[in-house]
Amino acid sequence: MTRPSSPTGVYLDSCILIDYLQRSPTSEVARAMQLVDAGSLPAYISTAHYVEVLGDSQAATFSADQEDRVLTLLRHPRLTMVEVSRFLMLRAREYRIHRRLKALDAIHLAAAVETDANVLWTYDKTLLSQDYVDGVWITEPYEPGTDTPINGL
């Protein structure tokens, strides 16, 4: 069994959104967002993105313009927001324990499994090592209909 060449939907890990926010509108990851914008690729994110797209540094400060850009992206009308519920957190807990994932990675994987997505796009090596979990392929972004990677980071 191999990943689908044309996903029915993709869950975007936070690193994909961070990469998109940090690059120019002509970057490779921007291509993935063009597909989302066109409505040809259903895409999902979770409420955990509100925190994680801030990055790892506690010292990071955002200007009002940066904050507006982040919130505008998170409110994108073609990104379906998955609520982090108690049920989802129990699934994430199982992934954290049995798959030894970091907490937010487990949450994103659980959120992806709860959606109609059959692919989770990420650059996270730990998540990528999981390959396929509960109906969701975990892969770097690729051009739907091909095996051409959409490179980022």
Pairwise CA distance, residues 111 & 88, whole Å: 7
Who wins on pLDDT, 152 or 60? 60
Residues near 97 by beta carbon (within 8 Å), at least 6 away in sequence: none
Helix (H) or strand (E) run with residue 43 in it: strand 43-46
The amino acid at 89:
M
pLDDT above 70 covers what percent of the chain?
88
Residues 6 or more apart whose Cβ sits within 8 Å of residue 95: 101, 105, 106, 109, 110, 133
Q: How confident is the model at residue 60 (pLDDT cuts 50, 70, 90)?
A: low
**Is residue 56's pLDDT more than 50?**
yes
Select the more confidently predicted residue: 132 or 23: 132
Question: pTM for this structure?
Answer: 0.89
The more confident residue out of 143 and 139 is: 139
72-92 residue pLDDT tens: 889 988 899 999 999 999 999
State the pLDDT confidence band at 58, using cuts at 50, 70 and 90: low
Domains detected in the chain:
10-55+62-139 (3.40.50.1010)
Using pLDDT thresholds of 50, 70 and 90, give the confidence band for residue 24: low
**Can you say whether residue 88 is alpha, beta or left, with left for phi > 0 and alpha for psi between -120 and 50 degrees?**
alpha
